[in-house]
Chain A
Amino acid sequence: MMRSNIKLYTVMLWAFCFSGLASAQTEESVRLKQDLRGLLNSIGSTKQASGIGQEGLGKECKPSIEQTLIGKVPGLWVKERSGMPGEGASFYWRGVNSFRANQTPLVVVDGIPYETYSLGYSMVDGFYNNPLANINPNEVQSITFVRDAVAVWGSRAVNGVLMIETTKADKVQTEINFRASGGIVTAPEKISLLNGAQFRGLASDLASSGFSSHKDIEKTYPFLLDDPNAPLYHQFNNETDWQDEVFSDAKLQEYNISVSGGDEIAKYAFSLGYTNREGLYKNTDFTRYNINMKGDINITRSFKFEPNMSIVLKDNALMHQGLRSATNPLLAAYKKSPLLSAHAKDDEGRDLPYYSSLYFGVSTPTVLIENSSADIRSYRALASSKFTYDFGKAFKVNLLFGLDFNKSRERIFIPQDGVINRYEYSETGKRINYNGMRQGVERSLSYFGDLYATKLHRWGKHQLDARAGLRYRTVEIELDNAYDFGSPSDDFKSVGQGSARSLRRVLGGVSDNVELTAYGVANYSFDNRYLATLGLAYDGSSRVGEEASSYALFPSAGFEWRLASESFLKDSQLFSLLSLRTNFSLAGNDRFNALLGRSAFRPVQGILSGVIHNGLVNKELEREQTTNLDFGVDAGLWNRRINISAVYYFRKTTNVIVGYELREPLSGMYYDNGGEIENKGWELAADVRLLDKELKFDLGFNISKNENQFTKLSASSNPLALQHSGKLVEEIPGDGQVVLQVGAAMNQYYGYRALGVFSTTEQAESAGLKDEDGNPFSAGDMIFDDVDNNKIINANDMQAIGNTMPEYVGGAFAKFNYKRFELSAYCDFATGCDVYNYSRVISESMYGMYNQSKAVLRRWRAEGDQTSMPSATMSDPMGNSRFSTRWIEDGSYIRLKTVSLTYSVPKLKFYQNMKLYFTVDNVMTRKDYLGYQPSEAAFGGAGAGLSKMPSGRSFIIGVQLGL
C-alpha cells in the first residue's frame, strides 16, 4: 500500500502540472480510486485538486460537465442556471470576491484555456449561452478541479482551474467502445394555481377593490356575472391549465462511438457523439454532434507530436426565460386566467381557428410555445498540437499550440397574435406591434501558445521537479445583433421583413484581448517527508486600465509535511497517510470589462449622428488581487479504509472594483479599486469503505463552509466621483435590491421586513402606519417593520433581509459493489442561503386580473382574518407586494441527485466488456423553498429566483459495449 501511495503522489504531481489526475493514471486500481475515493486522494498532496474519472462520468450519463461536478468538489458550489438543456451552471468557489469581475474558474481543455468568460451573452431573454455545453461528457476522460494553480496559470487561476482531459490516444491495443442511452424526463410537480371558480372569486375581490360602481365592474369584467347570454360567455368560461400547455415530459438519447489503438510509433483515438435532450417545455431541445480526433506520434525516440482536433455542432431550441410574462411561457402560464382559452370561441363554445384575444393583458402560453422561436446554432472547433522534445535526463521542452474557434448564430421570433407586445407608433402614426425578429452572430477566435521546459532531478533523498515557460493567448470576439419589428404577419420571421423600419436596430461589438505569462514553478521533496513548492508568474493583460501597469508578479508557495513517512509513524497501523500542508498564493483577476478602464468612442445615431466618448473612465484601474492562504491536514486510516481531509482557508481580495456615481453635471459611473472582501472557511471531506469483502460499501461526504465579509469601501481617488457612505445598494432583476455594507456579508437582499397582515381595523389603526404619501395601512394590508419608528413606511425602513450565498455546501455519496452489480447514489446540499422567489411575486401579489397560486385562497378577506396573505387589492396601492421578506425564502436544500445501478454483463466471445446501467437523476429534493429547484434559483447577487424552466427527474437506461 505504501508503494502505491508513493506512486500516486508522483503521478499526482505530474497531474497537477499538466492535466487532470485521472488522465495520468493508467492502472485500473488507481482508476477506481479516482472514481470516488480519488476525490479525496487528490487533496493528499500539496497540489490541491479534486478529480473525477471516466467511470464516474459515464455511468451517470450526465448531460453536461457541470452536472458531473455538482456536490463533488469541496468548496465548489455548482449552481444550475435552469433546467433548460444546455444552459449549464454557475460556479462559486470559496464564496464571492468581486462585483464586476468574472468569478468562474478557468476552464482548460487538453491544456488549452477554453474561453467561457466572454461567450455567455445571448439575445434570448434569461438565457446564458453556456460554452461548456460544447463538450460532450462522454468524450471526457477526467475532470480535475485544481485549487491553487496560480504558479502555472497566473491571474486566470484566481478562482481555481477546471482541467478537462478528453479521451487520450495512449493505448496500443485497438479498442472500440460503443455507448448508447435513452430515457425520459418527467416534469416536476406543478405549482398549484387557482381553478376557474377560485379565480372568479379572486377577480371579484379585485374588482370590488377597484371600482365603486357595480355597473362599471360588469362593463369591465362581464364574465363575473356568469350569464350564459352575456357577450363572450364562452370566451370567459373555460378551465384551462396553462401549465399543461407549457410542460410536457421530455425524451433524451445519446450515442457515442470511440475507437483507439495504434502501435508504439503512432497511436490514435477517434470518437463520434450525438446527444439529444428535449426540454420540459414543448418545442425546446438541445442537440449536439461531436467529433474528436487525437494522435500520439513518436517521430523520433525523443521527439513526440500530439495532434488534437475536436469539432462540435450544437443546436438549441429555446424559449424566452426572462422576467417578462409577455414572452416567458412559464410566467404567462402562472398569470393567465384559467377561464380563458387559447383559441377564440364561437357562440356555442366551439374553438375557432384563430387565437383568442388577449384579455387581462397576458400572452397566451400556447402561442409562446407553438409560434415563438429562439434558436441558437453554434459551432466550435478546437485544434491543438503539442510537440515534446526529450533531451534525456528528464529534461523536456514542450510547445503547445492551439486554436479555438467558436461561432454561434441566434434566430429569435416573437409573434404578434397571442402575445402582449410592446408597441410604438411609426412616423406615419401607424401602430406597430413590437413583435420582433432578432438575429445575431457571435464569433470568437482564440490563439494559444505555451512553450515550456520541464526538468526532474534526483540526488540522494532529494528530488526537484521544475517547470518554466512562456504563455501567450489572444481572444478576439465579434458580435453582431440585428433587431427588426412589426412583420406583416406571423409567417414572416426574418430580420428585414419588418415594417417598422424606423425601429430597426443593428448593434455590434468587437473585443480583442491579449494575455502573456512568463511562469516558473519548482517542486522540491526531501525523503518523501517534506515537500515544498515555489511558483512565480509574471502576468500581462490587456484588460487593465490604459495607464495601469499591464504586468504584475504573482507568487505562490506551498509546504507539506508527510508525518506518515516519519520514522515514528512509519509502522503505525493506524495512519497509512498523514500530512500537514499549507499553501499561499497571490493572484489577480483581470476578467472584467476592459472598457471600465479605457476611453473609447461609440457611434450614435439619431437627430445628430456621430461618435461619443464613453465618459470619464479610470485609466488606472488595476486587477483585483486575491491573497489565498490555507492550511490542511490529510489522513488515511487503517490502510486507507478511512480518508479524511480538512482545509481551512482565508482569502482576502483587495482592489475590488466598485462603481461610483459621478458628480453633477457629469453622469454615469466611475470605477475604482475601492473595495476589500474577505472570505474564510473550511472544507472537509471524508470517505470510508465500510465493507470490503464480496460486498463492498463505500460512503463519503464533503462539506465546506464559507464566511464572507465586505471589509472596506474606500473613497475613490477621483474627486469627481461621489463617495459611498459605507453602503452600496444595487438593483437586481425582479425589482429587488441587494446591499453591500461594510462589515456585513456581500450582496444581502435589501428590502422591507414583513411582520404579517393586519387582522382587524383596530389593530391597523392602533399601529398607525402610513405609506410615504400618507395613506394608512388598514386591515388586510401587510405589516412592515417600521425600523425608524416614525410610523411611515418608506425607504428608510429597508434592511438586509437575507443572504444570497450559502453558508454550507457539499455533497455525499454511497456506493455498493456486489459481484457484477454496482449501486451508487449521490447527494448535494446547500444551507444558509436565501432565495428571492420571483415566481411567487408573480403568483401571489394579487394586484390585477392575473391568475395566482392556491396560496392566495388564504388571503385576508374579512375583519378578524388571521393570515399571512394580505387582501387582494387592485393595483396594490399600499405596496403589499413590495420587495420584502415575504418573497425571501430559505434556499437550503438537500437533494438526492443521482441513483445509478450498473450491471457488468459476463464476457462473451464477440465483445470485451458490456455494462448495462439504469440511472435516475434528480431523484428528490428536500427543501423549504416554494419554487421548483432552489439550486436553480439565482443566488449570489445574480438576481431573482427567476421563473425559468425547472429540471425534471430523468430515468435513463444505457449500455456500454467494448469490442
Chain B
Amino acid sequence: MKDFLLKNRYRSLLVVLCFGLLSCQNEAWDDHYEDYPQMRDMKTVDWLASKGEYSKFLSLLESTGITGELRKGQSFTVWAVKNEAMTDLSAYSKEEQKAIAQNHLNYGAVYLSKLQRDTLRTLNGKLLEIKKEGGGFLFQDEKVKAYDRALLDGVVHEVARLAMPRKNIREYFDANAPEFAKMLALLEKEQYREADLENSKVLKVNEQGKTVYDTVWVDKNHFYEELGDLVSEDDRFAALLPTDAFVGASFAATLDFYLGEDHGLSDEELAAKKEKFEQELMKNWLLKDFSYASPSEMPEEIEGISGRLFFSESLKNSAEKVVFSNGVAFKASHVVMKCFDIMAPGVDIPQLGLWYEQGNVTGTEGMEFSVNDIKGKGIKALKVTAPAVGDAQYIDVALSDALLPGGTYVFETFGHDVKKSAKVKISLGDAEFMYEGVSKQWEKFTKEVAVNAPVNSMRITFVKKGPENPLILINHKSFKLTPKR
C-alpha cells in the first residue's frame, strides 16, 4: 500500500484533493436551509401522545376524528386538558363530543406570551374570548395553567378544565324551546326564502325568452337581518332573556306602571294591548350599545335594539346572567318598557309632539289631533292644538271637564323627555307654574294648582331649551290632571 501511494503520489494527491472539494460543498447552505437543528421535534399530536397526562384528551381528539385534521399539515393551537381535569363525556353524543373537542383547537399558532388578540376562532366555528387576568390567561373563562409549548406544527396550552362549547342565542332558544315558544314563533314568522340566482344553475331559456333556473334557495330571516343575527358567532349581543314568562310578566308590569290595577280596559282592549306589547318587546329585547359588566352599572334607562327604552330597575334586582357563545343575557322576571302609545287606552295613537330645538319649534305634521281621555283618571284631554309649526311655541290642550274655581287640582307628569334644565310653562287659566326638566326623566313631577276661574284648556309653552341637549319633547300622554281629593 505504501509503495502504491509512493508510486502514485501525484494521482493519490489529486484524488484526495477532489474528494476534499466534493465532500465539503454546500455545508453552510444545507445548515441554513435544510439541516439546521430542529427547534421543534414533534407535531402537536405526537407530543400529546408522548405525554401520558393528556391521554384522555387525546383519545377524545382521536375518537372524534380530529387527529386526522391535525395531521393535515396546518398549524394549530391546542388547548389541552390533563387527565385529572377531564370531564366524563359519555353522556354526550358523538356530535357533541366532536364539538367539544373542536372547541379546544384553533388554526394558527397563538402564543400567549406574544398575545395581541382578544378572540380566537375554534374549529367548531365559535369565536372564543381570550383574556389576560392577573399574571395569567383565561380561555373562555377557564384558567390557562401552562402555555406556549411550541411544537413543529403549532403550540399547546393547558387549560384547567374542558371549555364546553357555548350555545349561541338561537341554539339556546332551540335547546329550551318550551320556554321560548313565543320567541321561536316570532322568529319562524320572520323566516323567508330567497332565490340565489347567482348560484343557481341555468336550465334553459323558455319561449318567452326568460331564463329558467334550477333555483337554489337561501333561507333568510328578517329578524336576523334587521335586528340581530342570532346565529352569528361573530357578533356579540347583550339581551334580556325573552322567555314566555318574562314577556307575560313584563306586560303586566308595564300595564301597571302606566295605568295601574284599575285600568278599566275591556278584555278585547287588553288582549290587543298585550299582543301589541309582546310584539314590540320581542323585537326589542336585544340591548343596544350595551357595555356594562353588571346590571349595577346600568343607567336607569337602557335602550333596546328597536329603539324603545326600558327602566332597568327590575333588572338590577333580579338579573342573573346567561352566557352564550355570541353574547350574554340577563335573566329577569320582568321589565318595564316605555310604551305610552301602547299603554294609552283605546287604539294606538301615533306619537306626536313638538320639538323645541335651537329656538325653533318643529313638530309632528298637522299638530291637531283628538285625544281619548284617560278613563277614570280625571280630566280628559279632548283636543290638542298647536299653531303652525315654526311661529309659536305652545300647545293647547282642550280639557273634557272645566276646572272649577276654588278647586285644587293635581298636575302630574312623568317628565317625559323634557331634558334637564329645559323649561316648560304650564298655564291653567291664571294659574301658572314652571315645569323644569329633570335628569331622571321617568320620575313623576307633581304640582298642586289652585284655580280661581273656570279653566277649559291647558297651555304648554316652551320657555327654555336645555343646555346639554337643546331638545324638548312634550307628549300629550305625559301628564295627568286630577282634582285633589
A residues adjacent to B (C-beta < 8 A)? 189, 191-192, 196-197, 200-201, 203-205, 207-215, 217-218, 224-226, 690-691, 697, 761, 779-780, 814, 853-855, 857-858, 861-863, 865-867, 871, 894, 896, 924-930
With beta carbons under 8 angstroms apart, the residue of A204, A207, A214, A929 that contacts B119 is A214
Inter-subunit contact A862/B148 (CB<8 Å): yes
Inter-subunit contact A861/B10 (CB<8 Å): no
Inter-subunit contact A925/B25 (CB<8 Å): yes
Q: A926-B21, A927-B28 known; A865 and B108 CB under 8 Å?
A: no
> Which partner residue on chain A sits nearest B155 by CB separation?
A862
With beta carbons under 8 angstroms apart, the residue of B29, B32, B111 that contacts A861 is B111
Q: Does B93 contact A (CB under 8 A)?
A: no
Given A858-B36, A863-B148: 18 more A-B contacts, CB < 8 Å: A189-B26, A197-B72, A197-B74, A204-B108, A205-B109, A208-B114, A212-B117, A213-B119, A225-B107, A226-B74, A690-B10, A691-B10, A855-B36, A858-B37, A861-B39, A861-B111, A861-B155, A866-B39
Q: Which of B15-30 contact A (CB under 8 A)?
A: 21-22, 24-29
Shortest distance in angstroms between A945's beta carbon and chain B's nearest beta carbon?
14
The docked-state distance in angstroms from the alpha carbon of A822 to that of B107 is 63
The docked-state distance in angstroms from the alpha carbon of A853 to that of B32 is 9
Inter-subunit contact B108/A211 (CB<8 Å): no
The docked-state distance in angstroms from the alpha carbon of A855 to that of B32 is 6
Q: Does B267 contact A (CB under 8 A)?
A: no
Q: Chain B residues with Cβ under 8 A from A697's Cβ?
A: 10
Inter-subunit contact A862/B149 (CB<8 Å): yes
Q: Does B234 contact A (CB under 8 A)?
A: yes
Count B-side interface residues using an 8 Å CB cutoff. Answer: 42
Q: Chain A residues with Cβ under 8 A from B33's Cβ?
A: 191-192, 853-855, 930
Inter-subunit contact B127/A212 (CB<8 Å): no
Q: Chain B residues with Cβ under 8 A from A855's Cβ?
A: 32-33, 36
The docked-state distance in angstroms from the alpha carbon of A761 to that of B22 is 44
The docked-state distance in angstroms from the alpha carbon of A871 to that of B111 is 11
The docked-state distance in angstroms from the alpha carbon of A896 to that of B36 is 26
Inter-subunit contact A930/B32 (CB<8 Å): yes
The docked-state distance in angstroms from the alpha carbon of A925 to that of B22 is 9
The docked-state distance in angstroms from the alpha carbon of A794 to that of B366 is 72
The docked-state distance in angstroms from the alpha carbon of A927 to that of B37 is 20
Shortest distance in angstroms between B116's beta carbon and chain A's nearest beta carbon?
5
Q: Which of B142-177 contact A (CB under 8 A)?
A: 148-150, 153-155
Shortest distance in angstroms between A230's beta carbon and chain B's nearest beta carbon?
12
Shortest distance in angstroms between A921's beta carbon and chain B's nearest beta carbon?
16
Shortest distance in angstroms between A687's beta carbon and chain B's nearest beta carbon?
15
Q: A853-B33, A861-B155 known; A204 and B118 CB under 8 Å?
A: no
Inter-subunit contact A208/B117 (CB<8 Å): yes
Q: Does B84 contact A (CB under 8 A)?
A: no
Inter-subunit contact A208/B22 (CB<8 Å): no
Inter-subunit contact A197/B75 (CB<8 Å): yes
Across chains A and B, which 8 residue pairs bring their CB atoms closest together, nearest first? A204-B108, A197-B73, A201-B75, A862-B150, A928-B28, A862-B148, A192-B33, A214-B119
Q: Does B34 contact A (CB under 8 A)?
A: yes
Q: Chain A residues with Cβ under 8 A from B118's Cβ?
A: 212-213
Inter-subunit contact A204/B148 (CB<8 Å): no
- How many A-B pairs have beta carbons closer than 8 Å: the answer is 120
Q: Does B121 contact A (CB under 8 A)?
A: yes
Shortest distance in angstroms between A870's beta carbon and chain B's nearest beta carbon?
12
B residues adjacent to A (C-beta < 8 A)? 10, 14, 21-22, 24-29, 32-34, 36-39, 72-75, 107-111, 113-114, 116-121, 127, 148-150, 153-155, 234
The docked-state distance in angstroms from the alpha carbon of A867 to that of B28 is 16
The docked-state distance in angstroms from the alpha carbon of A909 to that of B28 is 55
| Residue among A225, A853, A855, A861 with the highest chain B CB neighbour number at 10 A | A861
Q: Could you name 5 residue pairs across A and B whose Cβ atoms are closer than 8 Å? A: A225-B107, A226-B107, A862-B113, A866-B39, A924-B21
Shortest distance in angstroms between B234's beta carbon and chain A's nearest beta carbon?
5
Q: A212-B118, A215-B127, A861-B111 known; A930 and B29 CB under 8 Å?
A: yes
Q: Chain B residues with Cβ under 8 A from A197's Cβ?
A: 72-75, 153
Inter-subunit contact B113/A211 (CB<8 Å): no
Shortest distance in angstroms between A758's beta carbon and chain B's nearest beta carbon?
12
Shortest distance in angstroms between B415's beta carbon and chain A's nearest beta carbon?
41
Inter-subunit contact A201/B36 (CB<8 Å): no
Q: Chain A residues with Cβ under 8 A from B110's Cβ?
A: 208
Inter-subunit contact B25/A871 (CB<8 Å): no
With beta carbons under 8 angstroms apart, the residue of B10, B28, B34, B37 that contacts A192 is B34
Shortest distance in angstroms between B127's beta carbon and chain A's nearest beta carbon?
6
Shortest distance in angstroms between A846's beta carbon and chain B's nearest beta carbon?
13
Shortest distance in angstroms between A446's beta carbon and chain B's nearest beta carbon?
45
Q: Chain A residues with Cβ under 8 A from B36's Cβ?
A: 855, 858
The docked-state distance in angstroms from the alpha carbon of A201 to that of B40 is 13
Inter-subunit contact B109/A200 (CB<8 Å): no
Q: A214-B121, A218-B121 known; A204 and B26 CB under 8 Å?
A: no
Shortest distance in angstroms between B203's beta carbon and chain A's nearest beta carbon?
19
> Which partner residue on chain B sits nearest A218 by CB separation?
B121
Shortest distance in angstroms between B35's beta carbon and chain A's nearest beta carbon?
10
| Residue among A208, A215, A924, A925 with the highest chain B CB neighbour number at 10 A | A208
The docked-state distance in angstroms from the alpha carbon of A183 to that of B108 is 48
With beta carbons under 8 angstroms apart, the residue of A779, A854, A927 that contacts B34 is A854
Q: Chain A residues with Cβ under 8 A from B14's Cβ?
A: 814
The docked-state distance in angstroms from the alpha carbon of A204 to that of B153 is 12
Inter-subunit contact A208/B116 (CB<8 Å): yes
Q: Chain A residues with Cβ under 8 A from B24's Cβ?
A: 926
Q: Chain B residues with Cβ under 8 A from A779's Cβ?
A: 113-114
Shortest distance in angstroms between B154's beta carbon and chain A's nearest beta carbon?
8
Inter-subunit contact B121/A865 (CB<8 Å): no
Shortest distance in angstroms between B34's beta carbon and chain A's nearest beta carbon?
6
Q: Chain A residues with Cβ under 8 A from B29's Cβ?
A: 189, 927, 930
Shortest distance in angstroms between B158's beta carbon and chain A's nearest beta carbon?
14
Q: Chain B residues with Cβ under 8 A from A928's Cβ?
A: 27-28
